[in-house]
């Protein structure tokens, strides 16, 4: 039930209602209210997860470095602030990445360094078991959640792996939804900032059949409205959620719950939507994925 002005009305997946018989709860990880999972000379890092993804949100101190040894798959690095920067080393080569960027880092040994400190968000698949176990909500996934197929990465990038960086400074375009990039493990949609509360007559309740949505709040606050379908079994019913989350926070929305999020603050509200692996429906929309020429889609959805 998108508003008529929402580009997502053109998605082939916009259907009348979900089908499922059991449901998982949403996860609300309010990092601003909880102690970090890591607090050391590098800064403070909060770790939270969904079934397929891990979010590491760090307030880094100047000179902080974050290394991965024998990293199993590609991961993402988001630098949300223009006044910060990072250096990323992979296979002996170091590249400087400006702030207000999204980077994809290949598998293997790598190091992300923040010369001046600042905010950095790293995104890993839950195949990184050490990080998955360290997440504040690790126990919520002791048993896999329903309605989500096993994780399968997408095809390797054309021309092979390398550190790839993309500026977030992309102007809006009529008919395109947000600013979307993908790699083999993630799709990241950096939504435009909004000033003031979202119009209550322009909400966008919708659902996903078989993948979680991670909504990362970087600025302001959001009320996440989530409704689970009714089934013939009353035991499966869940009460609606109307959860207010400030920033930084991570909300994990399970399929096939109907959901929409409303920016609440009088000032700036900033949300980033994250999916692992990438979404087919967004990928099939011409021009929506800004680096589609670098990362091919699977031959068919069944190969996901």
Residues 258-296: tens digit of each pLDDT: 999 999 999 999 999 999 999 999 999 999 999 999 999
Residues of the chain above pLDDT 70, percent: 96
Q: Residue 268 falls within a domain, yes or no?
A: yes
CATH of the domain at 278: 2.60.120.10
What are the angstrom distances between the C-alpha of 110 and each of 75, 107, 239? Answer: 10, 8, 44
Q: Could you tell me the end-to-end alpha-carbon distance of the chain, in angstroms, rounded to an integer?
A: 27
Phi, psi of 49 (to 5 degrees): -145, 160
Residue 18: pLDDT above 80?
A: no
Contacts of 193 (CB under 8 A, 6+ apart): 219, 268, 269, 270
The whole-number pLDDT of residue 303 equals 52
Per-chain mean pLDDT for the chain: 95
Question: In the predicted model, what is the mean pLDDT of residues 26-35?
Answer: 98
What is the C-alpha to C-alpha distance for residues 187 and 182, in angstroms, rounded to an integer?
Answer: 4
Question: In the predicted model, what is the mean pLDDT of residues 292-302?
Answer: 89
Other CB atoms within 10 A of residue 51 CB: 22
* Tokens 């950095």 found at: 120
Q: Residue 64 falls within a domain, yes or no?
A: yes
The whole-number pLDDT of residue 6 equals 79
Q: Residue 294 falls within a domain, yes or no?
A: no
Is residue 61 within 8 Å of residue 284, measured between CB atoms? no
The whole-number pLDDT of residue 14 equals 56
What is the C-alpha to C-alpha distance for residues 122 and 183, in angstroms, rounded to an integer?
Answer: 14
What is the C-alpha to C-alpha distance for residues 148 and 139, in angstroms, rounded to an integer?
Answer: 17
What is the C-alpha to C-alpha distance for residues 290 and 304, in angstroms, rounded to an integer?
Answer: 20
Confidence category of residue 20, pLDDT binned at 50, 70, 90: confident
Q: Residue 299 falls within a domain, yes or no?
A: no
| Nearest of 120, 47, 123 to residue 81 by alpha carbon | 120
The whole-number pLDDT of residue 302 equals 58
Decide: helix, strand or coil at residue 183.
Answer: coil
Q: Residue 23 falls within a domain, yes or no?
A: yes
What is the C-alpha to C-alpha distance for residues 281 and 61, in angstroms, rounded to an integer?
Answer: 39
Number of structural domains found in the chain: 1
Q: Residue 304 falls within a domain, yes or no?
A: no
Question: In the predicted model, what is the mean pLDDT of residues 44-49?
Answer: 98
Two tokens, residue 166: 């993309």
Q: What is the pLDDT of residues 119-174, one digit of tens each?
A: 999 999 999 999 999 999 999 999 999 999 999 999 999 999 999 999 999 999 99
Confidence category of residue 16, pLDDT binned at 50, 70, 90: low
What is the C-alpha to C-alpha distance for residues 287 and 236, in angstroms, rounded to an integer?
Answer: 40
Confidence category of residue 54, pLDDT binned at 50, 70, 90: very high
Task: For residue 116, give its domain range.
Answer: 7-286
Dihedral (CA of 191, 160, 279, 136) sign: negative
Q: Residue 292 falls within a domain, yes or no?
A: no
Confidence category of residue 12, pLDDT binned at 50, 70, 90: low
Q: Residue 301 falls within a domain, yes or no?
A: no
């Amino acid at each position: 039930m998108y508003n008529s002005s929402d580009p997502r009305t053109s998605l082939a997946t916009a259907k009348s209602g979900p089908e499922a018989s059991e449901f998982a709860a949403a996860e609300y990880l309010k990092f601003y209210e909880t102690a970090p999972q890591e607090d050391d000379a590098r800064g403070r890092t909060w770790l939270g997860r969904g079934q397929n993804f891990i979010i590491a949100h760090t307030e880094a101190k100047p000179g902080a470095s974050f290394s991965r040894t024998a990293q199993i798959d590609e991961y993402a690095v988001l630098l949300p602030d223009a006044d910060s920067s990072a250096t990323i080393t992979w296979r002996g080569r170091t590249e400087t990445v400006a702030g207000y960027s999204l980077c994809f880092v290949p598998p293997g040994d790598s190091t992300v360094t923040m010369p001046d400190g600042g905010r950095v968000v790293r995104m890993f698949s839950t195949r990184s078991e050490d990080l998955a176990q360290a997440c504040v909500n690790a126990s919520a996934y002791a048993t896999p959640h329903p309605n989500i197929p096993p994780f399968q990465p997408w095809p390797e990038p054309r021309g092979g792996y390398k550190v790839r960086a993309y500026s977030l400074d992309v102007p809006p375009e009529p008919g395109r939804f947000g600013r979307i990039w993908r790699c083999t493990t993630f799709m990241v949609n950096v939504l435009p900032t909004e000033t003031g509360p979202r119009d209550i007559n322009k909400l966008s309740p919708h659902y996903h059949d078989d993948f979680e949505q991670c909504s990362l709040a970087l600025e302001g606050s959001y009320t996440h409205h989530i409704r689970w379908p009714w089934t013939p079994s009353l035991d499966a019913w869940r009460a609606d959620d109307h959860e207010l989350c400030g920033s930084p926070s991570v909300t994990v929305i399970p399929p096939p719950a109907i959901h929409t999020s409303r920016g609440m603050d009088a000032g700036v509200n900033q949300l980033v939507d994250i999916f692992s692996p990438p979404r087919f429906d967004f990928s099939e929309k011409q021009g929506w994925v800004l680096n589609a020429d670098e990362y091919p889609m699977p031959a068919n959805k069944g190969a996901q």
